[in-house]
Structure 1
């Protein structure tokens, strides 16, 4: 383990150590001479040299230590520890412990469930489906680049993204026997509440959805595309932005969110969409697919009267309301044989361990000692 400083220039604040020294030097000149009439005719004698009193030296040393520790705290001390290079074994929920024991693994390998929080394999397996793709990326970011990663995957699993994960390391991807936990059906929304995020090119199209929400007595709200995603799963996020779908948005959907896309975005081709709304000619107007615990909805046509005449019908708000209230879509599990993570991403730097919290505790103790010494000295002078 190697100590270091993230902000070494803050050590210039050590010049503040001169302040206690100057204060103690100035106190030597605070003694005021007092003339007595009986001593007026005595001859003058050389004044004794002033020097520090022994009682002041402990207080001076404590104050110097306090300032030195404060300067060190400002320099942000850290500890670069040796990374744990042991093999990390991530086991998908559904893999039996006997199956893990049959695998050829290093004796000192770390074994954890591929689940939120990465619980130890000795704990109970997760009972519900996990966002496997997001967890793989998180593991790749948190593990040292030298640590081998072994994943024991079931043949099929839920929680996959629309694209293969691209990691910074090669993964020992092993497909073993096991039954993954089932993902519950996506329940219908109690009352559709829209949160619209659109750019200038889709502002007019988003206006039709806003008008429909006003007819439901739950007007939609417009938010910036960079705003945080809502915590309330009852809110339906409308993404009418020309940019590609961000990874954070897909992760939010995988955890149970619902997103409505415009016709310019394509649904993942690996999933078969379900029709939620058809026109009189039987043409799909709104489709949906399951994505993790959530679902993606997509209009097949631009929301323009020339392309979608249903926008001008008085029944448009009710049709959209019924489509959002449609029963949940059963998720389609991913095939582990075609979902092996790829390599090519940049390695993540490992953050050093910060010593500032511990140093702050020492600072507090030294400060209390300084106050105790200073208060005791004033009491003696009184």
Structure 2
């Protein structure tokens, strides 16, 4: 039998958010995948349907219309862009292009579940730096973990699944202290949900530091999770490397068309984002009133640091028709969803003893 490379057997599995189990007489809600609960805008859906009519043709491998729209929106050159099937694919592409056996990738933990998977798949070694007690990146410890073997540092802001975001001053100081031959990836999948003082200005960082890479997605705020389209903004040489290792024709015609249409409808889409942020605030207020606490959420989710009670609470929510995302022995991530889901979640918390 032909065996895969040794490190392939070490790749941890990705655990997707599960669907809720049907409960008789009860509306169920999926709060396990950080999805936008709103359906597609009518104009975006019509554009996608029109693009689907040409599914017998290959998509534009150069993503010309998408790159043009993004370049105009962001004020960057089209040569600074690389698109892929979600921002998670760009993590794989970046590590494939810049890392291999013997190299190290520094990242916070717990953070995005795909990081250890992509790092191991590249043959590199992940260096996990624990988040602080309130779910934040410990940037001082991460800086101390950088060695001559470090090729990439991954910063997830807001951090998935714990919720807090980094400030611009924090990230700027961190980048200033890192060698220019280390890529600093600022993973901004939840960028549009941030409401805090001094938010990260990724484009400003990139203009002054060519070793900064920004990762963004249409899956969350734009509501295109099912179409899988994300993009990187980077120095032209880095973006070129990402495009070089990407799967040909990876971003479908439907995804490209829907993404361009979404960029043209940002006012309407971002009104929905504002609604989700308001619902997030209402959820946190209810959680607090029930005697529970969560780290400061800046994405479209909250984190319950409940340790060995994780499985018990996940089952309790599940029995009530709420699918949440458990991380065994650590905690629960709960997406911001419909108002009815918020009411039910808070009602359950009111009846359960919070952690001491």
Whichever of the two has the greater Rg, that structure is: 1
Higher strand share: 1
Relative to the length of structure 2, the TM-score reads 0.20
Relative to the length of structure 1, the TM-score reads 0.19
Higher helix share: 2
